[in-house]
Amino acid sequence: MLNKLLFPLLICILLTLAACSNKPYGYYEDDKMIGNIERVERANSLVEVNISEWDKRDMKGNVDAYGVSIPVIITDDLIIKKEDGSLSNINSLKIGQKVLINPPRWIDEGITYEAKEIILLEMSYKEKYKQLLSNKKGSYLTTVFVKEGDSLPLTTEDTLMGLLSKSPINFGVYQEDFVVDYKQELNIENFPVMLIFDTKGLVLKTYDADEVVAFFND
């Protein structure tokens, strides 16, 4: 008799797990709106937070890669704090910071959303280095940073573009206001700098495009 009762329960559990596994962002909870800061305007007391993954938490299958962001006005009533409860302020907010915003924004037409609380969340290594890490085992991701106001020499760009068949390459301006100080953590001394990462961490750091070519031709 017990086995007859357990079998339907097991089926329900398996069906629930299958449904959750079909949701790429199903691990997000409805009442915990988590995102990453993508813009900070201190002069205007404004923060923009990307909540794309949280917003897509109920979507199944292959989810379109569109972005969803919300503006958060920093008012005197809004509380900014760390996970341990200690208070913070807008000056501590940096691009890429993982945050929990209360209350969650529900889709209610005609109602202007107003946040009451921003909680700065601790971030794992993978979260901090997400933009640099390769997302495929056995492959690499190459990132090229230039200093703001500078441009990549054409000879360097041409050399690197010739490697696109061997590695995805991201070109970008180094963000001083990013949540991770890559310059300090990776001991970056000059720009432009070329960083090659696998799924776990840094494999090569160089300022010479020819060394990148040698790495992929080795």
Tell me phi and psi for residue 69, to 5 degrees: -130, 150
Q: Which pLDDT belongs to residue 7?
A: 52
> For the segment 72-120, what is each residue's pLDDT rounded down to a tens digit?
999 999 999 999 999 999 999 999 999 999 999 875 544 677 899 999 9
Q: Work out the burial of residue 88: count CB atoms within 10 Å of its CB; fewer than 13 is exposed, 13-18 middle, 19 or more buried.
A: middle
pLDDT beyond 60 at 9:
no
Q: Is the pLDDT of residue 174 over 80?
A: yes
Together in a domain, 68 and 97: yes
Q: What element of type H or E holds 71?
A: strand 69-73
**CATH at 71:** 2.40.50
Averaged pLDDT of the chain: 88
Q: Which of 95, 123, 121 is nearest to 38 (CA)?
A: 95
The C-alpha atoms of residue 120 and residue 148 are separated, in whole angstroms, by: 27
Same domain, 152 and 96: no
Query: Please, which pLDDT band fits residue 191 given cuts at 50, 70 and 90?
Result: very high
Whole-number pLDDT of residue 167: 87
Per-residue model confidence (pLDDT) at position 109: 45
Helices 154-161 and 209-217: angle between axes, nearest 10 degrees: 10
96 in the same domain as 177: no
114 and 32 part of one domain = yes
- The dihedral formed by the CA atoms of 173, 176, 180 and 181, expressed in degrees to the nearest 10: 110
Interatomic CA distance for residues 187 and 184, integer angstroms: 5
Confidence (pLDDT) at 43: 93
Which residue did the predictor score with more confidence, 21 or 99? 99
Expressed in angstroms, the distance from the first to the final Cα of the chain is 65
* 154-165 pLDDT, tens digit each: 999 999 998 888
- How many domains is the chain built from? 2
Q: Tell me the whole-structure pTM to 2 decimals.
A: 0.80
The 10s digit of each residue's pLDDT in 41-83 is 999 999 999 999 999 999 998 888 888 999 999 999 999 999 9
- Where in the sequence is the domain holding 199, given as residue range(s)? 127-217
pLDDT, residue 184, reads: 96
Q: Is 69 helix (H, G, I), strand (E, B) or coil?
A: strand
